[in-house]
Amino acid sequence: MSAPTLSDIEAVEMQSIPVGYRDTPKEDEDDSDDDEVDELDMIAASSSKLPKQKDPALKRHSYMTYIFVCVVAIILLAGLLRGGKDGTSPFNARTKAMSDDLSTSSNTGDNMIIEFTVANLRTNSQNCTHVGKMLQCIPQHNNATNKFRIQLHDEWAPIGVKRFQELTKANFWDDSRIFRVVPNFVSQVGISSYPDVQKYWDSLGNLKDDEVVGSNRRGTVTFATAGPNTRTTQIFINTADNKFLDKQGFSPIGEVLPAGDGYGSMDVVDEMYSKYGEEPDQGMIEEKGKEYLEEEYPLLSYFVTAVFV
């Protein structure tokens, strides 16, 4: 896939980028006096043979029982009707709480924040170490972290967000090179360093476009395209306000979060290695993957891991 070129930026005219519990019965106990009838049973048995009499004491007892049952019922009913301080019944309050939870879930949901760990960031040499052929660096601005987080927005682009989540769950981003970095424009990634992996995702076909809801401002994350309904796996992070991309159908799916405890923000993205510019050949990356990248472009920044937080 191709992506917006520098000349397009200057002209502010962009070309599309592809960018059971069970009781155990008790054994019957032996009754040594089988002929003996329990005293209470005898009373019960004999009472049925007696003529019915209206015992005042029994009558008062029945009235008291009736009154007691009624009082309990009234108390329970009053509790149900009284509800909470807001005037709603407990049933309605609980339903409302569940509804609120579902509403919150639909807005934020699970798997909506992803933390990326980046290697080979552009920085001073004392912050870099060699790991095999690769030079791994941490940002000059913050020696404690080389991480940043992306917040997905399902309300912006549900189709794109779902694909991004699928890619993350499949560890697609691990070892992926940020192969195209144009300062003050975009940083682009999304071709697997393993050809067989890329072939699998390509075989799933393209995504339908989402309506453009968000705007391509600095820090937003967007799928690259090669025209209408051509999104696959490539994404880019806007490193400048590129709102002119909105009219061209580029629908943001999320944004880089502000820095927090143990992770950075756009300052990390800004330090992705940019000296290779747009040199890496996308076709060669798809064909040879990591072999081609390590041999020809060893300093490219890349994602070590991408995990849901």
Q: How many angstroms separate the CA atoms of 306 and 169, rounded?
A: 9
pLDDT means per 10 residues, the chain with 309 residues, are 54 42 38 43 39 51 70 70 44 36 43 94 62 57 74 98 98 97 97 98 97 98 97 98 97 96 92 95 97 94 95
Q: How many angstroms separate the CA atoms of 204 and 207, rounded?
A: 9
Residues 4 and 236 sit within 8 Å (Cβ to Cβ):
no
Q: How far is CA 186 from the centre of its chain?
A: 25
Please give the pLDDT value at position 30: 46
Please give the pLDDT value at position 15: 42
Please give the pLDDT value at position 84: 43
> Phi and psi (nearest 5°) for 231?
-70, 140
> Where are the alpha helices (H) located in 148-281, listed in sequence order?
158-169, 195-203, 266-269
Residues 150 and 221 sit within 8 Å (Cβ to Cβ):
yes
Residue 232's contacts (CB-CB under 8 Å, 6 or more residues apart) are: 1, 18, 190, 201, 202, 206, 207, 223
- The DSSP code sequence of 228-255 is TT-B-S-EEEESS--GGGGGGT--EEEE
- Characterise 301 by phi-psi region: left (phi > 0), alpha (psi -120 to 50), beta (else): beta
* Residue 248 CB neighbours (<10 A): 16
Sole residue written with tokens 């806007």:
238
Residues 148 and 263 sit within 8 Å (Cβ to Cβ):
yes
Q: Which two tokens stand for residue 300?
A: 């490219």
Please give the pLDDT value at position 262: 87
Q: How many angstroms separate the CA atoms of 219 and 252, rounded?
A: 10
Query: Half-sphere exposure of residue 113, counting CA atoms within 13 Å on the CB side?
Result: 10
Please give the pLDDT value at position 3: 58
Please give the pLDDT value at position 67: 77
* Residue 115 CB neighbours (<10 A): 17
Rounded alpha-carbon distances, angstroms, from residue 15 to 10, 181, 189, 242: 12, 17, 18, 13
CA angle 283, 252, 241 (to 5 degrees): 95
Query: Half-sphere exposure of residue 99, counting CA atoms within 13 Å on the CB side?
Result: 6
Stated pTM of the model: 0.64
Q: How many angstroms separate the CA atoms of 171 and 112, rounded?
A: 15
Q: How many angstroms separate the CA atoms of 270 and 272, rounded?
A: 6
Burial class (CB in 10 A: 0-12, 13-18, 19+), 107: exposed
CA angle 91, 92, 94 (to 5 degrees): 65
